[in-house]
Structure 1
């Protein structure tokens, strides 16, 4: 895909977002009314002292504005450079909050001292319930996360008020989102989404990311990083300050990073740009525009099985001309460095290039003393693929039930040839969340509407591979195999259009002079999906599905005294079926059909979450303890089936119910002799409530899964952080313990528990010319160089042959895993200017 195409998309989305928004006209109208009778130009708005601001009522209604309005600021604040105040609780791992549900957060005090290349998921790893996995030191190959046993695709992620999850399968790619230097706060609500959260996949909690605002005076920030595995990274941000005699201020930033794979062949190369423009004119009125652009080219790490991990560990480089494996060996845990003809495991056939552009315009307008309008229009664009390869005879290509010859540029090679076969995805996703908030005395009423229309084109063409195993087209969109009927050969070929209409209403009542707060709300989610499957001989070419779901919430918060408060909340959440459940795809065989078969009747996954919690907050200590309970119905589940011929295929079903109970706790302090400790803890008891259906050959049966522990749900997690900072010297140590996790519903395979430890040390030098806060720091990750499996990528019903409820023997299937990143040393020089 050409750079001109990306540039034109960026230009169009910025112009359409800013110029076509009705809020621009509204802002002009409001400004004109306030300026009536005045001939002077507007002056930059003065900053209101925190003590003079009217505190927002704590609520579950949520907000789509880009600022952390509900975070209380206490005591004297300072800037030690890069937004670090040296005062935040737990070294930046806690913030005071009055939310009537569980909420944790990391702030600049913590973020500014970490490896600057870390992605947002990695920054959350110490918080209660956050089970975070990464596969490389810089977080450039992504990562995974579960909270209270629910994975990131069951949670909602937002940046500046707009949704980050993929609209098709709800996956989150944290390496693409935002540079850590521009992050102000990353907030984790472990239990449920807010009323105005723009998500159709959050059966669990949400992660909300907020970018810093442009500075009021001209300046910026730069840093340079070098580390293990030839890791290099540079970042620069320029803040304009107030532009002329206006309220406008902006920043523009750019970063570039590269690293080699720490095991096996491959590398990552990332280019990333961001901008944010803010216009605020006092009394809470504000317009902002944030744009993020990301271009990433990398090679993937393979997922591994237990057999591969036990045999090969972190893997070996194959010898020239051979895979290095003999008959009966499990696969290598790395891709091949040297190409072997006819072998699809060569690393250059496994790239993962992607380009993303995000734009969001969260804005707030005070229409009257009692009425506030908040509007967040956004646009999301993505284009890229996940690589793969396939060996076949091009004179006998499959076109559904037909067998046809294929050619590349008019030529048909003889015999089996290796073809590059990536999964291409292109997404256009505009939307907006609008809400009106009316406040009168002790009552706060909010009414809003979220609308989104997305178009996602997903294909998987076959294209040419050179004699040395290198795909001729990295993106897979040229040099394709064309069949004799003129059609491009495809593994999948779909178009999904999704419309979301979600009205919501909430009311918050403050009683007993603000000590008691009652919240209640309801949103009604209407989702319409229109799909077209362009593959031949499919069960259903055109798919129309409609989902309707009412999602009520309620909460109570009571302030016992100045320091103690308790809260109770209940919320209904849901997660839509993934779009790939709508389509047949894959390879075609007579008697079976496609290897992946559609189930458009799959129902949404529903969860009801309940929380009861207590908080203590004073000038030195902040702490919280929360008991939680979940009840799930219609869990989304992928099932592998086998017919009497031994042919296998997969489909998507509703896998019954699940419930979980647990306790989250955290405590942190402000500086005490320059030291700020932090501790978090979770106990989780998650249980499968249904016997899952399985098949083997012509046999259909059920497995004894009811009452067993749910996969990917560690019973215990402990996080510990210790921060020392005297204003010049600083150091930190953190530790995360995660207990064992089952990878099958039958609990017959698991990954052991592990401990991961990290250290950071640094020193702030005196001002040097234009450099206000020159700082050097060293981050040491996984200091014990622990080698372990950190994530269950693919769960199974059973890993070993097992007898079903009806007495049939059901063969086991191998779960797949990801290997955690190793020890790495990362050195950074940085400064504000």
Structure 2
């Protein structure tokens, strides 16, 4: 079935219309008169602002991203562009991206934008990272690349190290308040991050980049552009990168191989067809999270063990905590001008992922729980008669197949534009956790994916820590009507998305609270309205109100983990009847877009109902379990600000961003083993910095360039009662480089030096796991509630990296 699904998806890509030619980013090279180029778009391709927006690459209007001829004049050094959306949106361009440390992941690249709080656990970002935006986590933010969804379909997590090589990025836009109505997400209650690849070049050429830094960080990147192939309008590029670094905290290291290709053809009035393929393979050692007690006693030295003792095997040996994962993303966004007034946009995609997060446990072979049934275990030559217990490798495997497509038709008649569309997706996610053998001499797993010889119970069943299959079907219809008045100065728009999501779950563990088969079904109307008034060429006002939703994670459907015969339950408990998380957000803002200075300020307010959380609970008897909950309601009010300039005072381009937010929990949260609640109503929301400030100063005279940036993030609470937090922190980065004159076939040879976290600050950068309370407390009904477990990520240290690059 898996092979059939994969084959069907690939066949679909060869038969469906694909495209992704971007109207933006005209090529700076000399026009090739030997090819028939696409003429100007018809009036269908209106540049009017829209809440439908820019999810598909072909929705990007030409003026959205400045052309390469304007390089070194972009606002803020590439941290701002001219925006017309009737809501908050910030964009970074390739000019800013190419000056940052090589290989940074997308979360690291957008760290300066208003409302964005990101952290990475290693300098290059190879181990991933975390992010909040206006206090909402990455699992509440919709990520897309070339118009297709990146978030995991099960738990909505984002693994930024797997997505894209920065050298191939044209732009990243961040929508702080709400995703566009055509965004293919079922979890974007907190905005969206949309990434777009550059177009292939018109002429044969390429790029080579080599970098080296501390912690033995090294990376090489190469891209080849074909130019137009023969006498056709087809052009493409192929790229490859290889990166590695040693762990700065503990033994081991991170590495990844990454490849991308994009092909496109454009003809006629606005017809664009393209195909993009991304492949990623990584095998690094995970960084352990920490709790407050471990941080205060061990600091950054709370790590996995570097040495293996065959006589005393340890589950904390680093080779047992590797993170092998393979991803393949394919996307084929297309735009066809059917008539002068009608445009079809089609974005088929296919998403594949397979890997795990490692782990190991000492397992008894003389007594195992298969639900309520006590059994013995055996694996290879080991069984209950010759071995009492054994350290076994126990990875959490996930394999996902995920085809889908977004289709929309846009009809433009005079001052009116009507868009109707449909998004369908089917996903199949298999999640297992078998027990397999570890080499007694080296401490390495026999198979990183948990294959080979597995532990089997005496009843003949293969032992699993979790064993589920989730099939998700998404049907989403949307319609938007836009009216442009007063010579396009006033734009009024209203839309409705109606989402239907069905999940069929199968849990193969015994004696679960839900039974073997579980169904989940959610239907939700999501209205949106917006207005933009253009006062003059430099000033505009905008306002919007949107509704978004996030359905519960697939893990909430299942019991998993170890079975406790006293509580008759698993260590992770299902909560299959949870409601979807609903957000209603409003924004009002003003933009100034002058010839020298650009700025934007927006006030935002959001209300959440049925907030979704994962919670760690410690019962009165000391038994600990995790569960998903609806955490009641919350609201927030805040202001975002960003200001940037074109070159002033000897090629200097400053940029400043800021956010103030007052986010409050509106409900008392369930906690503890008893049916009681902590006093969380009115408390500041966890994982939310009250203040953020960002500053970037860019200098670029065409040859010599440099930059200095700083980011301040205020304290972040880790509990709903605000009895534990991580302090605020300030980080600073520096870059400097020189572009030499062209030399033969070598274009713009460049040397660059990047320094990140220049003060080598050691700090907790992110709240990984929240709890109702960290300290023991008394509940609303008088129950004694023990402190829960909160966890944190340790942020990356100082990094220095030198880079040499050349185009040809």
So what's the TM-score if we normalise by structure 1? 0.92
2:761 matches 1:786:
yes
Q: In the alignment, which of 342, 357, 361 is matched to residue 386 of structure 1? A: 357
Which residue of structure 2 aligns with residue 297 of structure 1? 283
Structure 2 residue 144 is matched with structure 1 residue 132? no
1:12: how far off?
4.2
Correspondence 1:489 to 2:463: yes
> Residue by residue, what CA displacement relative to the aligned partner does 1:751-787 show, whole Å, maximum 9, x if unpaired?
1111010000000112122211100000001001111
Matched residues in 1 for 2:799 and 2:283: separation? Answer: 22
1:39 maps to none
Aligned to 1:323: none
The 8 Å contact of residues 104 and 188 in structure 1, kept in 2 or not, is answered as yes
2:453 aligns with one of 479, 492, 496: 479
Match of 1:66 in 2: 57
Q: Which runs of 5+ in 1 are unaligned?
A: 28-41, 80-84, 316-332
Distance 2:155 2:381 in 1: 36
Aligned counterparts of 1:688 and 1:620: Cα–Cα separation in 2? 42
RMSD: 2.1
Match of 2:30 in 1: none
Tell me by how many angstroms 1:86 deviates: 1.1
For the 8 Å contact 2:663–2:685, the answer to whether it is kept is yes
Question: Does the residue aligned with 1:433 lie in a helix, a strand or coil?
Answer: strand
Does residue 361 of structure 1 match 2:361?
Answer: no
Paired position in structure 2 for 1:320: none
Structure-1 separation of matches of 2:122 and 2:295:
17
Residue 93 (structure 1) aligned with residue 69 (structure 2): no
Of 608-617 and 275-284, more deviation after overlay is shown by 275-284
Q: Does 1:631 align with 2:607?
A: yes
2:426 to 450, 453, 456: 453
**Equivalent of residue 541 in structure 2, options 550, 563, 566:** 566
Using the alignment, how far apart are the partners of 1:177 and 1:582 within structure 2? 28
Q: Does 1:618 align with 2:594?
A: yes
Matched, 1:802 2:777: yes
Question: How far is 1:695 from its partner?
Answer: 2.2
Q: What corresponds to 1:527 in structure 2? A: 501
Number of residue pairs the alignment of both structures matches:
788
Shift in Å at residue 13 of structure 1?
7.2
Instruction: Give 1:814 deviation, angstroms.
Output: 3.2
Conserved? CA contact 1:757–1:783, under 8 Å: yes
Cα contact 2:618–2:788 (8 A) shared by 1: no
Deviation at 1:282, TM superposition (A): 3.2
Q: Secondary structure at the match of 2:13?
A: helix
Deviations 1:159-190 (A, max 9, x none): 00000000000000000000000000010000
Q: 1:278 to 1:635 in 2, by over 3 A?
A: same
Retained in 1: the 8 A contact 2:699–2:707?
A: yes
2:318 paired residue among 326, 343, 347? 347
- 8 Å contact 1:718–1:738 — kept in the other structure? yes
1:647-658 matches, cutoff 5 A: 647-658=623-634
Corresponding residue of 1:57: 48
Contact kept in structure 2, 1:581 and 1:599, CA below 8 Å: yes
Distance 1:70 1:391 in 2: 58
Q: Is the 2:262–2:274 contact (alpha carbons within 8 Å) kept by the matching residues of 1? A: yes
Aligned twin of 2:195: 209
Structure 2 residue 345 is the aligned partner of structure 1 residue 374: yes
1:74 positional shift? 9.1
| In 2: Cα distance, 1:126 partner to 1:338 partner | 40
| Cα distance change on mapping 1:52 and 1:241 into 2, 3 Å | farther
**Cα pair distance change 1:11/1:528, threshold 3 Å:** closer
> Using the alignment, how far apart are the partners of 2:604 and 2:158 within structure 1?
25
C-alpha separation between the residues in 2 aligned to 1:511 and 1:58? 13
Aligned equivalents of 2:273 and 2:34: distance in 1?
16
Instruction: Provide the C-alpha distance between the structure 1 equivalents of 2:695 and 2:618, rounded to a whole number of angstroms.
Output: 47
Give unmatched runs, 5+ long, in structure 2.
Answer: 22-32
- Following the alignment from structure 2 to structure 1, what is the Cα–Cα distance between the partners of residues 802 and 741? 19
Aligned pairs for 1:505-544 within 5 A: 505-539=479-513, 540-544=515-519
In structure 1, the partner of 2:582 is 606
Asked if 2 retains the 8 angstrom alpha-carbon contact of 1:793 and 1:817, the reply is yes
Q: Secondary structure at the match of 2:308?
A: coil
Name the residue aligned to 2:390. Answer: 417
Q: Is the 8 A contact 2:39 2:270 kept in 1?
A: no
Any idea what the Cα deviations from partners look like across 1:57-110, whole Å, max 9, x if unmatched? 11101244324623626988527xxxxx11211000011011000000110110
Instruction: Note the C-alpha offset of 1:651.
Output: 2.0
1:22: Cα distance to partner?
Answer: 5.8
- Superposed, 1:254-403 pairs within 5 Å as 254-315=240-301, 333-340=302-309, 341-403=312-374
User: Which whole-Å CA distance do the structure 1 matches of 2:107 and 2:186 have between them?
Assistant: 20
Q: Give 3-state SS (helix, strand or coil) of 1:681's partner.
A: strand
Query: In the superposition, relative to structure 1, how do residues 769 and 52 fare at CA in structure 2: closer, same or farther (>3 Å)?
Result: farther
Aligned residues of 2:496 and 2:527 also touching (Cα < 8 A): yes
Deviation at 1:287, TM superposition (A): 0.7
What is the aligned partner in structure 2 of residue 660 from structure 1? 636
Cα distance between partner residues in 2 of 1:191 and 1:392: 47
**2:725 maps to which of 750, 758, 764:** 750
Question: In the aligned structure 2, how far is the partner of 1:747 from the partner of 1:196?
Answer: 37
Q: Residue 16 of structure 1: SS of its match in structure 2?
A: helix
User: Using the alignment, how far apart are the partners of 1:50 and 1:495 within structure 2?
Assistant: 46
- In the TM superposition, residue 20 of structure 1 has moved relative to its aligned partner by 2.9
**Structure 1 residue 16 corresponds to structure 2 residue 11:** yes
Decide whether the 8 Å contact of 1:630 with 1:659 is kept in 2. yes
2:688 and 2:258 map into 1 onto residues whose CA distance is 34
Deviations 1:459-491 (A, max 9, x none): 000011122422111111222112222221000
Superposition deviation, residue 18 in structure 1 = 2.6
The secondary structure found in structure 1 opposite 2:242 is strand
Paired with 1:282 and 1:47, the residues of 2 have a C-alpha distance of 5
d(CA) in 1 for partners of 2:5, 2:263: 16
The verdict on how the C-alpha distance between 1:489 and 1:75 changes in structure 2, with shifts beyond 3 A counting, is closer
- The change in CA–CA distance for 1:11 and 1:653 in structure 2 (over 3 A counts) is closer
Corresponding residue number in structure 1 for 2:678: 703
Compare 396-405 and 422-431 and name the one that shifted more: 396-405
Task: Decide whether the 8 Å contact of 2:618 with 2:786 is kept in 1.
Answer: no
| 1:378-428: CA deviation from partner (whole Å, max 9, x where unpaired) | 000000000111102113222222222222235325122101111000000
Q: Deviations over 1:705-757 (max 9, x none)?
A: 00000001101000000100000000011110001111111111111111010
Residue aligned with 1:87, SS: coil
Task: Tell me the residue number matched to 1:731.
Answer: 706
Question: Aligned equivalents of 1:221 and 1:46: distance in 2?
Answer: 25
In the TM superposition, what are the counterparts of 1:670-689 in structure 2 within 5 Å?
A: 670-672=646-648, 673-689=650-666
SS in 2 for 1:310: helix
TM-aligned CA distance change 1:714 to 1:565, over 3 Å = same
Match of 2:296, SS? helix
Match of 2:414 among 425, 438, 441: 441
Contact 1:100 1:556 (8 Å CA) reproduced: yes
Deviation at 1:44, TM superposition (A): 2.8
Q: What SS is found at the alignment partner of 2:69?
A: coil
Deviation at 1:10, TM superposition (A): 12
Shift of 1:369: 0.1
The more displaced of 474-483 and 545-554 is: 474-483
Deviations 1:406-455 (A, max 9, x none): 22235325122101111000000000000000001100000000000000
Query: Which of the residues 586, 596, 604 maps onto 2:572?
Result: 596
Q: In the alignment, what sits opposite 1:500? A: 474
User: Mean alpha-carbon deviation: is it higher for 479-488 or for 737-746?
Assistant: 479-488
Deviates more, 1:407-416 or 1:602-611: 407-416
For the residue of structure 2 that corresponds to 1:122, the secondary structure is helix
Residue aligning to 1:319? none
The verdict on how the C-alpha distance between 1:531 and 1:150 changes in structure 2, with shifts beyond 3 A counting, is: same
